Structure 1
């Protein structure tokens, strides 16, 4: 009983420490792996001596294997196949050519700088060719870069993990069996990848068919069916050919994703929670098992080897793998900088250290220490600076311009025209043929389809747009469309026209900004625009009288005479939010309701030369500042 309690205590401490690290990382908006590594090292035998992972024995290997299977399956499940198609060439190169470059470059760095033997050097390099979804995923959630870069990093992290793990096993077998021929090495790698792909692909397809037809099963039970099936495929593939199971889990996740299950969101949520738990426990246990003395004993040469991997090998790999892509230099620099190592490197290195020691081969502890040094340096240096680098390179999603507008009636076309006039990309989506025809006549790109179709949104270019707004005449539909777009594509700005007291907007965790004003009748303003009873006005808020300007602006809005549409701030166009926080020097583009007929406008000489011509709205902009009261001389 005492032995079982000790193991239970170790697991509980690891869970508590891991979840605490996740919470702190979430609050501080810092990659949680930073705190997982710190907590693991602090709780390990070199410092507080609380955690002793070696007490788990072979159970640690089992825990690592099953947890990594969950992590990679979840990674495959989260891959957006439509987006991968846009970067497929670069992704293929990173997983193949990039792996080879990292293997050769990392091996040379470890041999010449860290002074490892050639065999151990290449074993180290095979362990660090991976990046890993456990680090990349949380990092990209906190550092919102443009979708093309994010998709490439996510795809590389998921697909290169099984490749790297299998490559490491092949290299290890070559070291142990010195008479292995080069063809055997390559054949072993390809055969493992092939077996895993077939088992995972077929198993994932059958699993998808079963889930679609299993109407009587509850959502919770379906999630557990997927978990059991995934582990079953992992073990089956491992049984057929050793170390092919990881590829099977990735392939199964990708195929299940492609099956378009109705329960996909719930499944992703469940697997995401399991992944967080697995990553938390594994990193704590593996970091606790690390000897600080062994890391220090590596010397300066090892630091230089890791630096060469980060600053030379990775940029060279990215350069050659993206040479014919449409990525710009800013995106390539960011890709070169971001390659943090994760749980696969740590777990496989820990297992290899044990295997090498058992076989009487020197270097097991050293290679584990060097891999963890690589993880620490890449996670701390790249993870903590990713946001700053992305902002400096101006590839954050907040820099994206343009808009996808759902609703092709008069108001939608007017907003689209204003974006076009400013030189920004814009796309309209509507199911009404007449509205689409009018948009096309105004040279506005338009899709006659439903915005609920993710393929349509992708084709409209939502991944590269800065704004998504739904402004059909149905507020409930607008809210649903905006929430779906935000959940699936995460545009920087998501807005919708919906009633202020909408219960769905208050209860849903996916918050959507209310566009324009709290209570907007799109039908009314569409009619004003259709009948020509409007003028486009521009208001510039000035610091001295901004309070008076805002008060007058709000009075006109409440009276129904004025509708602010767009604010130009820091040379960027933004859709006005209902709760907009106005700032000095804001340029506000508004519609002013002008009930005079077109004929009266012509007679009065107030006819606009262009539908999109902006007038200076002097009624608000030129509000005089009240003179300061002066105190007569001699008055007390």
Structure 2
């Protein structure tokens, strides 16, 4: 097998993205899969050792990747998002972090038997959770918005604080244990932290100003942002190690709250880069661990420390810091349990292990082992339990995938009613109260607002909805909605009514290939669908069984019937489009828009009389 660095880079990419795909395919926590694959490829099978093979480039690569990930996460920290959550987020990020530091340090000293210096350093380090572990968990768990936002804000804000707290603890210990104490190092550290925050703010303001005033062409915006992020991180980090994380967090938050449209346009691109980096560095970090480090994990003191951190320190710090807030007991219980440690803890622990070792602390070698033990245990435990616990505490949005319909008219209202009858969540969004009158009269859930406005983004919770249908009378607007929300919902889950116009025999004013799959058939525009309803077409539900197959249904149906969607027993739907082939199976329910007439009566009579020899009930074919 080739042993070149190039081959190893290729292997890291394949294993990282392969782990992400396997986690998505089999509904497993991605960070758990990546950790296990990294251990298999590294210390267990010996396929690679990135730390040894990359040499001096290993730590800079990891550091830059963490900086980009943290910056990308902080771009989502708009202050508008935490309306009503400011107090819990502030308490957890300050009082909660401080309590976690003190309690964690005491636990490390008395249970893991670390010296006071190593204990307070590792205690500061372990207050972090971070976007590398929190974001994948939030994507998989479908938490309600409130606890999800708190976990996200805590993870991104506390990440640099934890690293700085570890540095601060080391500086304090060094000052107190020195023969000739000199407070200049502490003053330098505090000054460097303030400088890093100001530097990040200035970089964010500077690049935001350039974007707003047109001093940066579109094709250079993403490269320019990444270059400034790396420069901002490096400049701060050179002055005092780990202050670079504070700088990029400040830069991201500054840009997030400037309201620059081009930043929002680039966010999805940066999310993709972030996923690639998370996959790569998780594989690199776990593959670089040594076998003796893994074996030390089973030491009773280390195992006891990990259990106390999970079951005592974290819950206690959350419950004490949130006294007097409006968080419910269930929310506190979930927040008190979910605190997986990730990339920042693993990377920074290696730095402090070497620093403490050079300072003469013999227990410094245990820091890496304890860090890996806590990281791997929390990643596995919280990764597999967050969904189950959220459901038990009624904080999960689990259920049948819903459909968000943009545009209120006769067809969309009737479509929403049919979805309600198969117990699928549905919501109609429109900016016109007049158009929403039909939805209100039909008892269909609705939201009054402009789908593309920033206000709607913060007021409308889109988490319960897996599918989106743009069905207004404006074809260009439908295409724009699909393009905007395609990254959030996925290319295969965003649909639009056909822009086809019979009078022009064309696709109207919108190119067919613009984002959003065309529903049903390209000849069926919204006008045509509404026209069918005015001609007394009805929504009909047909059960596909072993006795009445899909092939039989196709042979029996009226030629003017419009096939709409198929509801699976699992609750997932398949909408009919010209690009996606839908083949219902036994147990599925097929919903169609069916014309009235004698043929339907014949079909219903035939279905009613069709029974098996065993006396099964007739196939269900009913009007909705």
Partners of 2:229 and 2:384 in 1: CA distance? 34
2:340 aligns to what SS in structure 1? coil
State which of 145, 159, 162 in structure 1 corresponds to 2:160: 162
Partners of 1:26 and 1:255 in 2: CA distance? 30
| Aligned counterpart, 1:19 | 13
- TM-aligned CA deviation for residue 619 of structure 1: 4.8
| Aligned counterpart, 1:520 | 524
C-alpha distance 16-524 of structure 1, shift in aligned 2 (>3 A)? closer
| Aligned counterpart, 1:545 | 548
Deviations 1:434-464 (A, max 9, x none): 4245545666665565423243254233234
Partners of 1:125 and 1:620 in 2: CA distance? 73
- TM-aligned CA deviation for residue 162 of structure 1: 0.5
2:71 aligns to what SS in structure 1? helix
| Aligned counterpart, 1:632 | none
C-alpha distance 493-365 of structure 1, shift in aligned 2 (>3 A)? same
- TM-aligned CA deviation for residue 341 of structure 1: 1.4
Task: Note if 1:28 corresponds to 2:27.
Answer: no
| Aligned counterpart, 1:152 | 150
Deviations 1:480-519 (A, max 9, x none): 42342242467996543337999999967x7x56656675
CA contact under 8 A between 2:499 and 2:525: conserved in structure 1?
no
Partners of 1:623 and 1:493 in 2: CA distance? 38
Q: Highest Rg: 1 or 2?
A: 1
| Aligned counterpart, 2:247 | 248
- TM-aligned CA deviation for residue 168 of structure 1: 1.0
- TM-aligned CA deviation for residue 528 of structure 1: 4.9
State which of 61, 68, 71 in structure 2 corresponds to 1:70: 68
Structural mapping, 1:338-357, within 5 Å: 338-357=338-357
Structural mapping, 1:177-326, within 5 Å: 177-178=175-176, 194-214=194-214, 217=217, 219=219, 221-238=220-237, 243-264=242-263, 267-268=266-267, 271-272=270-271, 275=274, 279=278, 282-283=281-282, 286-287=285-286, 290-297=289-296, 299-320=299-320, 324-325=325-326
Instruction: Give me the TM-score of the superposition, normalised by structure 2.
Output: 0.77
Partners of 1:472 and 1:576 in 2: CA distance? 18
CA contact under 8 A between 1:170 and 1:188: conserved in structure 2?
no
Partners of 1:142 and 1:506 in 2: CA distance? 33
- TM-aligned CA deviation for residue 207 of structure 1: 0.8
Select between 298-307 and 241-250 the one with higher mean Cα deviation.
241-250
Structural mapping, 1:71-86, within 5 Å: 71-79=69-77, 82-85=80-83
| Aligned counterpart, 1:624 | 610
2:361 aligns to what SS in structure 1? coil
Task: Note if 1:99 corresponds to 2:101.
Answer: no
| Aligned counterpart, 2:560 | 559
Aligned-residue CA RMSD (Å): 4.7
Instruction: Give me the TM-score of the superposition, normalised by structure 1.
Output: 0.76
C-alpha distance 205-392 of structure 1, shift in aligned 2 (>3 A)? same
CA contact under 8 A between 1:192 and 1:243: conserved in structure 2?
no
Q: Gaps (5+ residues) in structure 1?
A: 1-8, 597-614, 629-636
Partners of 1:278 and 1:466 in 2: CA distance? 26
- TM-aligned CA deviation for residue 22 of structure 1: 0.5
Select between 450-459 and 52-61 the one with higher mean Cα deviation.
52-61
Q: Gaps (5+ residues) in structure 2?
A: 501-505, 615-624
1:264 aligns to what SS in structure 2? helix
| Aligned counterpart, 1:382 | 382
- TM-aligned CA deviation for residue 295 of structure 1: 4.8
The alignment of Structure 1 onto Structure 2 pairs a total of residues equal to: 592
C-alpha distance 477-126 of structure 1, shift in aligned 2 (>3 A)? same
